[in-house]
Amino acid sequence: MKIIVTGGAGFIGGNFIHHMVNKYPDYEIVNLDLLTYAGNLETLKPVEGKPNYKFVRGDIADREFVYGLFEKEKPDVIVNFAAESHVDRSVVDPGSFVRTNVMGTTTLLDACRKYGIKRYHQVSTDEVYGDLPLDRPDLFFTETTPLHTSSPYSASKASADLFVLAYHRTYKLPVTISRCSNNYGPYHFPEKLIPLMISRALADEPLPVYGTGENVRDWLHVSDHCEAIDLILHKGRVGEVYNIGGHNERTNLEVVKTILRALDKPESLIKYVTDRPGHDMRYAIDPTKIEKELGWEPKYNFDTGIQQTIRWYLDNQDWWKHILSGEYSSYFENMYGERLSGK
């Protein structure tokens, strides 16, 4: 079996490649990644040199390149992680999200039609369902919850999902989609809440909490997400959507305070800043379908997973310090400079 994993130099794709390369030595894993600001080959160091792994640099929205790669590699399966993934960046530059998340996905789907594949899997997000109110803890996203997006990021992901399902209905392409809640764990890019707060707390720098910090996210350890995608690829029903989440809802403030406690840093580092425009209030996944149909269950709960993750960031400071010293520093200044200085 040959699998092209797109976006494999990113956070979740990188963890998925580690999982697949080690678990299935007889599968060939091809990592297709453009190496945008979020792509980092240092994440792949542990699998570099393994006979069942190779890296190809390229753009999923470049049709000529993608067709050439399919012709050469003749993949059986595509798992599409490649995306612009950060909501804040989508507020500033929606166009790049349309290009990669929508045009990139349709380019891959066209290549699958042209060359034939056994399975196309789209890695999607719970953000396509919009958000839930804080005063209705009984409500959860199911696979039949209507799509109702808030940000240019989620709109681009929902659009991609609709194309994936349309290609199944119209062209009988064998597709599956997973919609996952917020991931955390090793190799998470330090623009996202958890690694951002860990890295800044370690440097005794202010921690920018948007709005009141009451927004709720449903945290899932990245290795539980990887297990779920592995299961869907092997046992999931074609044409189906599977929600992935482990009932680990926390407010942002709870998450930040947990990190501060674990690092023995004061809560006075918390700085409330201007809210994210269109900020979703609460995400919460109902994972009943994947649990019942495929027997998936998460191994981590947030309380132990976050401690292990903080330990990883303490033990792997070179990995994230390289990132912080690069292009990211000018992004941070543009995104937070005025908010943190109170302007």
* Chain residues that interact with ligand DAU, rule: CB under 6 A: 85-87, 125-127, 181-182, 192-193, 196, 208-210, 215, 217, 252, 276, 283
**Per-residue interface string for the shown chain with ligand NAD, residues 171-190, x marking contact by CB under 6 A:** ---------x-xx-----x-
17/193 with CB nearer ligand DAU: 193
Residue with tokens 């709005």: 211
- 35-65 residues labelled b (16+ CB within 10 A) or e (exposed): ebebbbebbbeebeeeebbebeebbbbeeeb
User: Amino acid identity of 83?
Assistant: A
Q: What is the dihedral angle through the alpha carbons of 136, 141, 145, 150, rounded to the nearest 10 degrees?
A: 80
Q: Report if residue 196 touches ligand NAD, rule: CB under 6 A.
A: no
Residue 79, strand partner residues: 5, 121
Q: What is the dihedral angle through the alpha carbons of 245, 103, 52, 42, rounded to the nearest 10 degrees?
A: -80
Task: Scan residues 269-298 and list those touching ligand NAD (CB under 6 A).
Answer: none
73 by Cβ neighbours in 10 Å (0-12 / 13-18 / 19+) ranks as middle
Task: Scan residues 104-133 and list those touching ligand NAD (CB under 6 A).
Answer: 104, 123, 125
Q: How far is the CB of 217 from ligand NAD (least distance, A)?
A: 9
Among 126, 161, 218, 249, the active-site one is: 126
Is 127 catalytic? The answer is yes
Residue from 31, 20, 16, 10 nearest 75 by CA:
31
183/309 with CB nearer ligand NAD: 183
Q: Report if residue 69 touches ligand NAD, rule: CB under 6 A.
A: no
Is 297 catalytic? The answer is no
Contact footprint for ligand NAD (CB under 6 A): 6-7, 9-13, 33-36, 38-39, 59-61, 81-83, 85, 100, 104, 123, 125, 157, 180, 182-183, 189
Q: Please list the active-site residues.
A: 126-127, 153
